[in-house]
Amino acid sequence: MSHRITLIPGDGTGPEIVAATCRAIEATGVEIEWDRREIGLPAIARYGTPFPPEAIESIRTNKVGLKGPLTTELGKGFRSVNVALRREFDLYANLRPAKTYPGVRAPMGNVDLVVVRENIEDLYAGIEFDLGTPELATVRAVIEQAGNTKIREDAAISIKTISEMGSRRIVKFAFEYARANGRKKVTAVHKANVMKFTDGLFLRVAGEVARDYPDIEFEDRIVDNMCMQLVQKPELYDVLVLPNLYGDIVSDLVAGLVGGLGVAPGANIGANGVAVFEAIHGSAPKYAGQNKVNPMALMLAGTLMLRHIGERAAGDRLERAIAAVVAVGKDVTYDLKPNRDDPTAVGTREFADAVITQLAAVHA
């Protein structure tokens, strides 16, 4: 069966890493019909909007997207396309696996973690009140009265919201992911000792959801302690589930543990089955068109995508092929060489060629 997938090339170095990734995915033998759509800067140039309705409809229909990085500075009047995508499809789960691959310089030994970050709520809901606005004065007055407290007049205010529904679905997502991927433990990360109502709610709901998954161990950690433990003994952890803000910070910490954003894949998954796979890094515009940057993070996102569409064996094979190329360390891009000026570093296309050759060898 052929899979129809929306392909968003992105901008900057996006089109190059997307082309390399598509070739590697196709080399697994899985039949894919790419439905190519522009979003972001290229879409503004062509359609006058960063978010053309045809692209949205394509994602809605195909339900799966592979996306190159998008430059977020779009100019006046346009909001971030990444945020717009998240909102449009209620992409509430941000999935960020982080694994050490031999050959990638990483400060820690053997790390194999999955961070599941809630993507919609928390301090990131955008409920903010700026200094000098009448809204700030209104909100401050209400809070002072309801909370029987005093807020300084020179303070701006951001509101943190965490709901039962939002917490339940993200924790359920983490457990379902753990079960489907042979993971043993889910750790809920919070600061419920201080934020008793919002993080307290998240922790309570996490405990309730955990009771439906007796086959998977459950525990919780306070976020500051979690950060220290991740740096000292990351091997103790498996799947982490976090509200939005802690998830944002901890997922980058964890990416750092395994070698940085250049090798970190991600996925944004929504309530209605829509899933968009991408690299964590940005569009690296200074290298655009130079056949220079590393496509590994997007290729790893491709392995997540293959598993998501039911092509688990192909996803596993692609991951093994990428790992083999990186472990040898010969046909790799500049960022994976011990010395970044190493003249033997290959380009984006040649890295893909090496992965494809490796796939064929594994296949033979």
What amino acid positions are annotated as catalytic residues?
124, 191, 224, 248
Residue closer to ligand NAD (CB basis): 200 or 282: 282
Footprint on residues 252-281 left by ligand NAD (CB under 6 A): 261-262, 278, 281
What's the Cα-to-Cα distance from 197 to each of 48, 78, 200, 229, 352, rounded to whole Å? 44, 35, 5, 25, 49
- For residue 49, the tally of other CB atoms under 10 A from its CB is 12
Q: Is 291 in the site for ligand NAD (CB under 6 A)?
A: no
Question: What's the closest the beta carbon of residue 319 comes to ligand NAD, in angstroms?
Answer: 17
Q: What is the size of the binding site for ligand NAD (CB under 6 A)? A: 18
Q: Which residue carries 């919070």 as its tokens? A: 190
Question: What's the closest the beta carbon of residue 320 comes to ligand NAD, in angstroms?
Answer: 21
Footprint on residues 334-363 left by ligand NAD (CB under 6 A): 335
Question: What's the closest the beta carbon of residue 80 comes to ligand NAD, in angstroms?
Answer: 8
Residue closer to ligand NAD (CB basis): 43 or 216: 43
Q: Which residue carries 């960022």 as its tokens? A: 335
Among 15, 52, 282, 329, binds ligand NAD (CB under 6 A): 282
Q: Which long-range contacts (CB under 8 A, 24 or more apart) does 177-183 make?
A: 177/95, 177/114, 177/116, 177/239, 178/114, 178/213, 178/216, 178/238, 178/239, 179/213, 179/215, 179/216, 181/114, 181/307, 183/114, 183/216, 183/238, 183/239
Footprint on residues 169-228 left by ligand NAD (CB under 6 A): none
Residue closer to ligand NAD (CB basis): 256 or 282: 282
Strand partners, 296: none
Helix 312-328 with 348-363: angle, nearest 10 deg: 120
CB neighbours of 307 closer than 8 A, spacing ≥ 6? 181, 315, 316
Residue closer to ligand NAD (CB basis): 209 or 267: 267
Question: What's the closest the beta carbon of residue 282 comes to ligand NAD, in angstroms?
Answer: 2
Residue 11 to residue 16: CA distance in whole angstroms: 9
Whether 334 contacts 340, CB under 8 Å: yes
> Residue 238 — φ and ψ, nearest 5°?
-130, -85
Residue closer to ligand NAD (CB basis): 237 or 277: 277
Among 30, 98, 210, 293, binds ligand NAD (CB under 6 A): 293
Of all residues in the shown chain, the one whose CB is closest to ligand NAD is 282
Strand partners, 265: 279
Query: Pattern of binders to ligand NAD over 26-65, x per CB under 6 A?
Result: ----------------------------------------
Footprint on residues 65-104 left by ligand NAD (CB under 6 A): 69-73, 82
Nearest to 48 by CA among 77, 72, 68: 77
Q: Which residues bind ligand NAD (CB under 6 A)?
A: 69-73, 82, 261-262, 278, 281-284, 286, 293-294, 297, 335
